Amino acid sequence: MLILGIETSCDETSCALLWGDRDVLSNVVSSQVEVHRPFGGVVPEIASRKHMEWILPVLREALEKAGRRLDQVDGIAVTQGPGLVGSLLIGLGVAKALAYARKIPLVGVHHLAAHIAAAYLEDPGFRPPFVALVVSGGHTALYHVTGEESFSLLGQTRDDAAGEAFDKVARLLGLGYPGGPVIDQVAREGDPKAFHFPRAMSKTQGLDFSFSGLKSAVLNYLRESILPPLSPRALADLAASFQEAVVEVLVQKTIGAARICNVEKLIVAGGVACNTRLREQMTLRAKQQGLAVLFPRPSLCTDNGAMVARAAWAALKKGEGALDLGMNARSRWPLGVHGN
């Protein structure tokens, strides 16, 4: 079965071709980072316009790289939500048009289920049950995954997502956009113990997160304690100390979730899963607890069409995905909450 995966939920336009459940024949991602950089964040109206311009060239390139034609595609998977509604609609429109014209099934995919499905592409032998930490620019959530299509939400952020905190703190430090990769880089030269920033909600039993106070703590520190301009040393120490505060809470809660769910395996997915320190610390702490941990490679962690195609594989294989031209974007769409 050849599946076309389409992702346009935020600022990456991506199309991928997946053969069966594991062979990624192509995974073309066109990032809009440069377009949004002058604004310091994603501008929704510009994002949807760029998706419109790029989606067909990206689709063409994905087919070319895979060495396949459109008439060989057996099913289509498209991100239906959550995300920016104007951006989601571009992917959905293209997906519906192709499915209608070719008379093939179409499955609407949950974006976070797609991030989790990246684990099956990284290691096809990796199976549920496991605990998944999904950390991206828009989400920070812990799931108990008991089957490819069975998720229970264990906890999530009450305010900012972890990636959002990286982006906001990078802006405060004058490091530009997007903040995650640049803080990761700068922090390598810094001392993570130089400043002590709050580990929000780390003392509570629950599995929810909060990152907005951490951003304020960095801001207050900058206002009260350091005269500009920041020395490269102070900048690196601040970046490393901030990153450490985020990483410690993510690691502690994820390991705690594995213990509560009595599972032996963990995955970390989403853009922030690219973070070097998070990879190091999670791997170390998981090992100490006798837990196996899987991080998809960076190109499968940030938004991409291959994970979307993989997330729809089980449904398409079961013969689901009757074409519904009324299928709409779902900007808010809970996953793994009772009743969903």
Query: Which residues bind to ligand KG4, rule: CB under 6 A?
Result: 10, 136-138, 163, 166-167, 178-181, 184, 270-272, 274-275, 302-303
According to the binding rule CB under 5 A, does residue 136 interact with Zn ion? yes
Number of residues that bind Zn ion (CB under 5 A): 2
* Residue 70 tokens, joined: 């459109």
Among the listed ranges 57-65, 100-108, 129-137, 289-297, the one in contact with Zn ion (CB under 5 A) is: 129-137
Closest separation in Å from C-beta 304 to ligand KG4: 8
For ligand KG4, which is the closer residue by CB, 19 or 333? 333
Q: In 3D, which of 75, 57, 150 has the Cα closest to residue 110?
A: 150
According to the binding rule CB under 5 A, does residue 164 interact with Zn ion? no
Closest separation in Å from C-beta 65 to Zn ion: 22
Residues in the chain: 340
According to the binding rule CB under 5 A, does residue 275 interact with Zn ion? no
Strand partners of residue 29:
14
Pairing relationship of beta strands 130-135 and 23-31 according to DSSP bridges: unpaired
Closest separation in Å from C-beta 115 to Zn ion: 6
CB 97 within 8 A of CB 314: no
For Zn ion, which is the closer residue by CB, 12 or 21? 12
Closest separation in Å from C-beta 178 to Zn ion: 12
Among the listed ranges 44-52, 54-62, 132-140, 291-299, the one in contact with Zn ion (CB under 5 A) is: 132-140
CB 310 within 8 A of CB 18: yes
**CA distance linking residue 89 with residue 327, whole number of Å:** 10
**CA distance linking residue 74 with residue 4, whole number of Å:** 8
According to the binding rule CB under 5 A, does residue 7 interact with Zn ion? no
Closest separation in Å from C-beta 303 to ligand KG4: 4
According to the binding rule CB under 5 A, does residue 303 interact with Zn ion? yes
Q: Which does 302 bind (CB under 5 to 8 A by kind): Zn ion, ligand KG4, none?
A: ligand KG4
For ligand KG4, which is the closer residue by CB, 68 or 171? 171
Closest separation in Å from C-beta 143 to ligand KG4: 15
For Zn ion, which is the closer residue by CB, 256 or 336? 336
User: What letters, b where the CB count within 10 A reaches 16 and e where it falls short, cover 13-23?
Assistant: bbbbbbeebee
User: What letters, b where the CB count within 10 A reaches 16 and e where it falls short, cover 256-285?
Assistant: bbbeebebebbbbbbbbbbbebbbebbbeb
H-run or E-run covering 5: strand 2-7
Write down the number of H helices and E strands in the chain: 11, 10
Phi, psi of 209 (to 5 degrees): -120, 165
Nearest residue to Zn ion, by Cβ distance, number only = 136
For Zn ion, which is the closer residue by CB, 241 or 275? 275
For ligand KG4, which is the closer residue by CB, 18 or 239? 239
For Zn ion, which is the closer residue by CB, 248 or 303? 303
**CA distance linking residue 43 with residue 213, whole number of Å:** 25
Give the residues lining the site for Zn ion (CB under 5 A).
136, 303
